[in-house]
Amino acid sequence: MFRKSPVIHLLAAVVFSMAGGSPDVAAAAPKPIIIGLDADMSSGGAQSGEAIRRGAELAIAEINQRGGVLGRPFQLDVRDHRGNPARGKDNIEELAAVEGLVAVTGGIHTPVALAELELIHKHRILYLGAWAAGTTIVENGYEPNYVFRVSVRDELAGRYLMNAAEARGYRRPGLLLERTGWGRSNERAFKTAAQDLGLTIAGIVWFNRGGKNLDGQLRALRAAGADVVMLVASSPEGAVAVRSTAALAPDDRPPIISHWGVTDGNFLDLAEDYVTQVDLVFLQTYSFLSPKVPERAEGFLQAYFDRFSDVRSPAEIRSPVGTAHAYDLVHLLAMAIERAGSIERPAVRDALERLPRYQGLVKDYNRPFTPKRHDALTAEDFSLARYLPNGTIEPVGP
């Protein structure tokens, strides 16, 4: 009797499976490599969480289309920390138990990321920071350090924003800061920069998250002689600051130079028409209206529009920095896994520190990270922007 060879058996199995038969061949498909996303997906910063998700998904789709990494596809596992540090810690514990997880991409907020550091290092999970800017998220004292960031670093942001104030002729900045680790991180940066520039901090006032009125804080800064307000706030409290500023007499309204937290949510819906009555500029690292490498942005934008039908132009992309940062981070992770030849997290961590030049969406990274530097962006990558009434973030220069 004729006996089929193993090759014939395999071909028959493939044909049978394609016809809807035995799932044996499909079951042999390579297991995915999991990337977690731990971000605010439902509360005040949900817009930034969605922006990070979209950037990660677009990078994953590109990588999977060309065959994945080490022959395995990437897959995103999304968790919502809702801006709550305790929930963020629960998410890290849950993700640590996921088979095939190699990294977690993190969103805002700095207090959440800081609360997660112990668990990140306990489980040796690669944490890829796509938004939260607190200096000590990266300069965390852990060795080896599992945190890598493509985002702003407060130590650099404070100096950049103070330089912007000084360049605009202001001499007595007042600080309006949220009462969190993020606010304290920026207080240190602002004070150091002001001293170096010969500026006088007119006053420092604090507010709690969820506050609905900052009239008293703004009046206190003006009474102390502040000629510009340096704001560190997320979008809900940032909108309150704008409304409180607009409530002052027109000649008594200080300009506001803000960290980028005002772009993490539905700021314009909350600030309403008051934003047109206040001189507000804020920090950014990337703009799809003025991309640093237009030809790369063109291909990215076409893929974005094809995948997300709610956006039809670059001007409509919300929280654009989150999308751009996450996109580059996933590609950098893929490079590191390829170089490590493994998804073992310690090996991938070491490979991230040794990556060569990478031509990314945000910029050309000469060496994204080194053993002594886990922040990929510098102050040279910063710029200022403003909101247009339709919600577009418009660059205003360096």
**Residue 309 pLDDT > 90:** yes
Fill in the DSSP letter of residue 146. -
Mean pLDDT of the 132-145 span: 97
Mean pLDDT of the 235-254 span: 96
DSSP assignment of 39-95 equals: E--SSTTHHHHHHHHHHHHHHHHHHHHTT-BTTB-EEEEEEE-TT-HHHHHHHHHHH
Nearest partner of 252 among 222, 210, 209, 212, judged by Cα: 222
Mean pLDDT of the 172-200 span: 97
Q: Are the beta carbons of 176 and 231 closer than 8 angstroms?
A: yes
**Which tokens is 19 given?**
């016809």
Q: What is the pLDDT of residue 28?
A: 75
Q: What is the pLDDT of residue 29?
A: 86
Q: Kindly indicate the confidence band of residue 16, based on its pLDDT and cuts at 50, 70 and 90.
A: very low
**Residue 5, Cβ neighbours under 10 Å: how many?**
8
**Residue 8 pLDDT > 80:** no
pLDDT digits over 270-292, tens only? 999 999 999 999 999 999 999 99
| Portion of the chain with pLDDT greater than 70, in percent | 93
Half-sphere exposure of 111 (CA within 13 A, CB side): 17
Fill in the DSSP letter of residue 246. H
Residues 199, 370: Cα–Cα separation, whole Å = 34
Domains, the chain, ordered by start: 33-152+292-378 (3.40.50.2300), 155-284 (3.40.50.2300)
**Residue 342, Cβ neighbours under 10 Å: how many?**
14
CA dist 306 → 61, 141, 231 (Å)? 12, 43, 37
pLDDT digits over 32-53, tens only? 999 999 999 999 999 999 999 9
Fill in the DSSP letter of residue 373. B
Q: Kindly indicate the confidence band of residue 24, based on its pLDDT and cuts at 50, 70 and 90.
A: low
Q: Cα angle at 106 between 395 and 284, to 5 degrees?
A: 10
222 membership: H or E segment, kind and range = helix 215-223
**Residue 4 pLDDT > 60:** no
Residues 122, 142: Cα–Cα separation, whole Å = 10
Residue type, 271: A
Q: Kindly indicate the confidence band of residue 397, based on its pLDDT and cuts at 50, 70 and 90.
A: confident
**Residue 368 pLDDT > 70:** yes
